[in-house]
Amino acid sequence: MEYVTSLFSVALLASAIRVTMPILLASLGAVHAERGGVVNIGLEGIMIMGTFFGAVGAYAFDAQFPFLAKTWPDLAPLAGVLAAIAAGLLFGLIHALVTITFRVDQIISGVALNLLAGGLARFLNILLFEKATQSPGVRGFTPIDIPLLRDLPALRPLVTGVSPIIITGVALVAVSQWVLRRTRFGLRLRAVGEYPLAADTLGVNVYRLRYAGVLLSGALAGMAGAYLAIEQAHLYFEGMTQGRGFIALAAMIFGNWWPVGALGASALFGYFDALSLRVVRLPVPYQFINVLPHIVTILVLAGFVRRARMPAADGVPYTKEEE
């Protein structure tokens, strides 16, 4: 197929891994929220906040603490990531407050959060940089080369220049999978998402666990945005998330609400995303290449939702008996 240099070249796979990360992190967050029974449509908005605060945090650190930034070059991007996670936690808190404590419809709260995040990002950008749509450039983390594998020439693009966030992300998948399957917190979270009434009668604090799930989703989505801005694009520009927050939800569904499944599903979307960046000769108009991941998302949802099993109480607000 002469349209792409090669469908399975190592370079393409390396690119795919990088492009998968934002979707993966957001999807991981979505898994935690929905396992607790709360749908978080606002992930796109939180990711937008993550991209903004990630870029701005890194840039501000560089500007405010130039000596520190020079001695430990990884501090600036780290500051960005932390700022993004903080923003994500804040928005997650709003979503949790509105949907868990006030029991408003979760989809509506998510949509409102997306609007808020979009407006806030643009507002703050104008305020800080006087350009509605773009921030100055930021550096990424120092890339890591995986020690033993880097000496294999065939694998070189895959294992050299790896971002620490990629490693963290994959580790988080493994940790989450274990937490959800084997720890008390994970099992209780799942119970709360399946049959909160039963969990409540056993003394589990439904509200607190749901808050935990949603806050985790906010933090992870913020991190996803930070990665996108700091490591991939090296700046913030408006609309850079391109619906990845929603694609992450589809990845969660496709992955059957498991972290490992989310990894596989995100990888699929990431692959098509990376493919769209490397098309050499175009059999279709270029505008459609950009929406390839979105088309794949619809196909996935069309084909696979019935087979997947969502947490039984997903999307349903919980009311304690006495109220």
Partner 1 sequence: MKHRLLVLQMATPVLAILFGMLSASVIILAIGRNPLDVYAVMVRFNLTRTDSLFSILFKTTPLIFAGLAVALSFRVSLFNIGVEGQYYIGAFCAALVGFSMRGLPAVLHLPLALLAAAVGAMVWALLPIVLKLRRGAHEVITTIMMNYIASALLLYLINDVFRDPTQIGTPRVRTPLVAAAARVPSLGPLLAPLGLHGSDVEKLNLLLPVGIVIAVVLAYFLSRTRFGYEVRAVAFNPLAAEAAGIPNARVQFGMFMLSAGIAGLVGLNDILGFFGYLDIDFPKGLGFLGISVALLAKNNPLGVIPAALLFGFLDRGAAGVQFFARVPKEIIVILQALIILAIVVAYELLTRYVRIQRKREAELPVTAAPVAEATGR
Closest CB to partner 1 among residues 104, 155: 104
Distance CA 108, CA 162 (A): 38
Note whether 305 binds partner 1 by CB under 8 A: yes
Closest CB to partner 1 among residues 161, 315: 315
Closest CB to partner 1 among residues 76, 313: 313
Q: Could you give the count of Cα atoms lying within 13 Å of 137 in the half-sphere of its Cβ? A: 5
Cβ count within 10 A of residue 50: 40
Size of the site for partner 1 (CB under 8 A): 45
Note whether 138 binds partner 1 by CB under 8 A: no
- Beta bridge mates, 279: 4
User: Residues of 7-22 as b/e, b for ≥16 C-beta within 10 angstroms?
Assistant: eeeeebbbbbbbbbbb
Distance CA 77, CA 81 (A): 6
Distance CA 216, CA 210 (A): 10
Note whether 108 binds partner 1 by CB under 8 A: yes
Contact present, 253 and 41 (Cβ < 8 Å):
no
Distance CA 192, CA 206 (A): 6
Closest CB to partner 1 among residues 124, 175: 124
Q: Which of 8, 153, 302, 309 binds partner 1 (CB under 8 A)?
A: 302
Q: Which of 31, 46, 165, 253 binds partner 1 (CB under 8 A)?
A: 253
Q: How far is the CB of 102 from partner 1 (least distance, A)?
A: 5
Q: How far is the CB of 52 from partner 1 (least distance, A)?
A: 12
Closest CB to partner 1 among residues 184, 306: 306
Note whether 246 binds partner 1 by CB under 8 A: yes
- Pick the stretch among 152-160, 178-186, 243-251, 271-279 that binds partner 1 (CB under 8 A): 243-251
Contact present, 157 and 11 (Cβ < 8 Å):
yes
- Beta bridge mates, 134: 237
Q: Which of residues 24-43 bind partner 1 (CB under 8 A)?
A: 41
- Pick the stretch among 76-84, 189-197, 270-278, 296-304 that binds partner 1 (CB under 8 A): 296-304
Note whether 104 binds partner 1 by CB under 8 A: yes
Note whether 250 binds partner 1 by CB under 8 A: yes
Closest CB to partner 1 among residues 78, 121: 121
Q: Which residues contact 246 (CB under 8 A, 6 or more apart)?
A: 41, 43, 44, 297
Q: Which residues contact 75 (CB under 8 A, 6 or more apart)?
A: 61, 65, 68, 69
Closest CB to partner 1 among residues 107, 260: 107
**Residue 163: its H or E element:** none
x/- letters, 115..134, toward partner 1 (CB under 8 A): xx-xxx-xx--xx-------
Cβ count within 10 A of residue 314: 17
Contact present, 42 and 113 (Cβ < 8 Å):
yes
Binding interface with partner 1 (CB under 8 A): 41, 94, 98, 102-105, 107-109, 111-116, 118-120, 122-123, 126-127, 242-243, 246-247, 249-250, 253, 285, 287-288, 290-291, 294-295, 297-298, 301-303, 305-306, 323
